[in-house]
Each structure stands twice: as C-alpha cells, then as structure tokens.
Amino acid sequence: MQSTTAICPSLFNATTAQDGILSRIRLPAGLITSTQCEVLTQVVNKFGNGEIQITNRANLQIRTSQALPEEVLLDFQDYGLASSTQSTDGLRNLMASPSAGIDVHAKLNTIPLVKAWNFYLLQHPELAILSNKFSVCFDGGEAIRVSDRPNDICLVAVEVDQEIYFDLHLGLGDRGDSPVSVNVLISQNQVLEVLAALTEVYRQYTQQQLNQKIYLRSRPPRLRDLIHDWGMEKYLALVVEKLGYTLKPSPLAPLPLGERGTRSLEACEHLGIHPQKQSGLFYIGVVVPLGRLTSQQLAGLARLAKQSGGGALRLTPWQNLLITDIAEVDLEQVTQEILNLGLYISANHPYAAIAACSGYKGCKSAFTDTQADAKAIASHLEKCIQLDYPINLHFSGCDKSCAQHHASDIALVGKDSESYQIYVGDYVGDGEINFGRELYAEYAAHELPHLMERLINIYQTQRQNPDQSFREFVNQCDLQELREVISHA
Ligand code: SF4
C-alpha cells in the first residue's frame, strides 16, 4: 500500500491534498508508451477522478480517493510506470527536450543518456537521501530548448572544434532560476562518470549535514546549498579528485540573458505540425488545457500514437504533449481526431498561453483557486480575442512560483483568497522576487478575464510591429501610463 505523507509526492509516497491522494508518476524525458497510457487510464478510471495532469517537469499526476493498493504499484513497476527501486522513485524526473532524437537542429540524441542515467539512479539506492528536488536535465541543442528550465544539473550539447561536448550548467540561484555554465566541457563518453561524481560528492555533503543535524532528513540540503556553502571551486575540485582526471575548461563564453531568445516563442514553438529529422515523418504538438487530460482523452491520444505514430506520447515541461512519427499522408486525419478529443494544436489558442499551479484544491500553501481562475480567463479570451503571437500567462497560488514565473510574460501570484498580484515582462532589479515588473499589487480575481482582454488588445494594437513580443512591448512601457490606458480601454 502506498504511504500518503509526502510533502512532495511520488508514487510510493503520495501527498494528501484537499482534493484527494496525489501521486506523481515519474517518466524520464516525459516518454510514455501507448500501453503504459492504457494501464494508467484503467487505474484512473477505477481509483481516481478520471483526470490525469501533466506537470512542469513532464511527470504525470493522478488524484485518487484512497491510497493505491499494492497490486497497482506492482503493475506500475511491471509496465515501467514506477521505478523498480522504491527508494529512488521520489527523485525528480529527468528532463530532456521533448523533441530529443527527432529534431532537425539537435546536435545529438540525448534519450540514450537519459535512460542510462535513470538506470544508474536505480542501481544506487544510497542516493535516496538526496533532496527529492535534485534534478538533472539533458539539452541536445534542439530548437525546443530545455537548458533554461530550473534544474540542479544541466548538460548542454555544444560544438567545439567540430566535436560535440556537453557544457556543464549548475543551478546556483534562487528557486526558478536557470542553471548557469560553470566553464567545464564534458566529452560524450565521460557524461555518466562525471554525473556520478557530481552526485556522489553531493551525497557525501548531504550525509555530513544530516549527521550534524544542520538539515533535517525531511528537508535535506539542495545542491545549491552545497555550492553556496563550499564554493564552486571546492565542489569541482572534489569531483575531479573522485574522477581521477581533470575536467576540460570550456572556451565558450556564456550568452548574456538578453541573447538567449524570447521565452514566449520557446514555450509554444513545439505546438502544431513540425517536420522531424527522419525524412517524411512529422510530429504534432498538442495543447493540453492547463495540463489536464481526461482518461478518455489520454486513451484517445494513446490510440492515435499507436495507429498513426511511433507508439508513444512525449510530455513536455510546458504541460503539453507531442505525438511523433506521423506520415505526411496521415497528418490531416490525426489533427482532426485530436480536435475531436476536445484538444487543440494551435500555439495561438488561449489555452496554449496559460499555465497554472494546482491552487488551493491541491496545495495547502495556495491562497487562490488558480485552476478555476485560469479557466475563466481562457474561456473568456477564446470568445473575444484572436491571439496572433504567443503570450505566456502563469498563475501561482502563492509566491513559491511552481508555475515558474521566470518564464512568463504575465505572472499572477495569489495574494489572498480573492485577489492576485500581477507582474509583467522582465524584472530589472536585484531583489528576491523575479516575477517581472509589478503592474498591480492587488487585483480582484473575478475581474481578471476583462483585464487580460484589455491588456492583450492594447498589446496587439499598440506594439511597434507584428513581430514584437508581448514581453518586448511591455518592457518598453511606462507602467503608470499602461495602467491609465487599461483603465480607459
Ligand atoms: S505555487 Fe504555491 S500554491 Fe501553487 S502549487 Fe506551488 S506551493 Fe502550492
């Protein structure tokens, strides 16, 4: 039987939330086969509320009225929906670009590395003492980048002297910050041993801190705590000592923030129809409203993937999914069947723009019902706005920013049960809160749909040119003037 006492849910130790027992199914690189989808939908129909949620680490979450019985957990293990080692099932999901292995721009396919690192974790139950927020990401240079998603360790494929290496990035900053390059190049055949050494030094630090009771077992140190405590030089020196060889310094200068691309495009560019690197094959990026699918929708998508695709779905960290390996001749029919399931494929659909954390029904920290408030905005915008450029709108029920406001054009943060703080564009100061510039310190939740309609209309009619993103537009605005324009719109 599942235990239900976790702060951060996994499959073997779920969380008791207001709307049921919340279990998280860890899917490395967000890959789930059609057969796994069938197993999952049966369980959700029998024990759950008929709904499956995609998380912002491309996991799946389900809510059940009771703890899952032993036979379900064993079935999940049999079908690869749960780790064979219970103790490491709680570690964070391994992230890769959803288009790994199929992207024409990729420098290499990272999926074999994801699988190999996941296998390593299963063989090392001693790593169970690490923070369950310990997170590793592989970016193969795909057009759908994941290198700026918050992770403790991110390996970013780069080309140096006509060879492909990984540039080591580590998460040093606050919650939600992107990992940064630490001037180390890793050759492809060193990846696993370097990851193992980075992790083992972190494990030893964790053990030391727990022994000295500096941290509690229930809240062990994050990797960034180690780096802040010891400094980068000491951490990497201990990693090198463990490896027995030096690490190659990177000749690449890190890109300044402003040259890392426009977030709105990245978050939505996987949606719709795209050619794969495999000649004659395409993938379709499907918009999943607020990351939630009914079991019928998941079963329908799994059937489509089996009949007309590669037999698997790829969940994205933007809480959407891809169906891959579709022949050109089948594109029209598959698209129609996706629409028949009540889903969308356009990056300009309002649901493509909106992400929300679970809100007060699923999280004790939440002030607001983020899911209901986000739905109210999406259904209002669907009726009155034709978006012509993707805009990211992220809701969080509190300032812990699980909806990851660093990546949003408009951030809405629950203030009390009936209002939100609203931020837009990029934050320019150096304080702790980096959601963006504060447009309103408090705004009534029930008035948000009309506010968003006015704000988006102002952007679409007053921007400098059709290619100016919302973020670029709003970064240039005087916010007091913008408030006045909104109040007269
Ligand atoms: S942002 Fe706050 S309210 Fe939302 S899921 Fe995270 S902790 Fe809970």
Joined together, the tokens standing for residue 449 give 């749909």
Q: pLDDT value at position 259?
A: 42
Task: Tell me if 398 CB under 6 Å of ligand 1.
Answer: yes
Task: Tell me if 9 CB under 6 Å of ligand 1.
Answer: no
Domain with CATH 3.30.413.10 in the chain: 107-140+149-259, 351-488
CA 326 – CA 310 distance, rounded (Å): 7
Please state which architecture CATH assigns to domain 351-488: 2-Layer Sandwich (3.30)
- Helix or strand run (H / E) with residue 61: strand 60-64
Q: pLDDT value at position 45?
A: 96
CATH of 107-140+149-259, one of 3.40.50.10210, 3.40.50.10860, 3.30.413.10, 3.40.50.970: 3.30.413.10
CA 362 – CA 17 distance, rounded (Å): 5
* Residue 416 CA to ligand 1 centre (angstroms): 13
Task: Tell me if 132 CB under 6 Å of ligand 1.
Answer: no
- Residue of 41, 7, 18 lying closest to 301 (CA atoms): 41
Runs of H (alpha helix) within 309-347: 331-340
Reduced 3-state DSSP string for 141-201: CCCCCCCCCCCCEEEEEEEECCEEEEEEEECCCCCCCCCEEEEEEEEHHHHHHHHHHHHHH
CB distance 96 to 157 below 8 Å? no
DSSP letter for each residue of 100-121: TTT-TT-SS--HHHHHHHHHHH
Task: Tell me if 366 CB under 6 Å of ligand 1.
Answer: yes
Report which protein residue has its CA nearest ligand 1's atom 2.
Answer: 398
* Residue 364 CA to ligand 1 centre (angstroms): 8
* Residue 223 CA to ligand 1 centre (angstroms): 21
CB distance 341 to 302 below 8 Å? no
Percent of the chain as helix, strand, coil, to the nearest 5:
40, 25, 40
Distances (CA, A) of 410 to 368, 435, 455: 17, 8, 10
CB distance 313 to 284 below 8 Å? no
Amino acid at 52: I
Q: pLDDT value at position 173?
A: 72
Joined together, the tokens standing for residue 416 give 């009390």
- Residue of 316, 272, 343 lying closest to 144 (CA atoms): 316
* Residue 126 CA to ligand 1 centre (angstroms): 29
CATH of 265-344, one of 3.30.420.10, 3.40.50.620, 3.30.70.3340, 3.40.140.10: 3.30.70.3340
CA 100 – CA 426 distance, rounded (Å): 29
The torsion angles phi and psi of 473, rounded to 5 degrees, stand at -60, -50
* Residue 311 CA to ligand 1 centre (angstroms): 34
Task: Tell me if 207 CB under 6 Å of ligand 1.
Answer: no
CB distance 169 to 179 below 8 Å? yes
Instruction: Give the CA count within 13 Å in the CB-facing half-sphere of 230.
Output: 22
CB distance 110 to 31 below 8 Å? no
Domain with CATH 3.30.70.3340 in the chain: 265-344
Distances (CA, A) of 401 to 106, 447, 483: 30, 22, 24
Q: Which residues of the chain have pLDDT under 50?
A: 256-265
Q: Report the interhelical angle of 223-230 vs 191-211 (nearest 10°).
A: 80
Predicted model pTM: 0.89
Task: Tell me if 396 CB under 6 Å of ligand 1.
Answer: yes
Which pLDDT tens digit goes with each residue over 308-342?
Answer: 999 999 999 989 999 999 999 999 999 999 999 99
Q: pLDDT value at position 265?
A: 47
* Residue 183 CA to ligand 1 centre (angstroms): 34
CA 412 – CA 419 distance, rounded (Å): 9
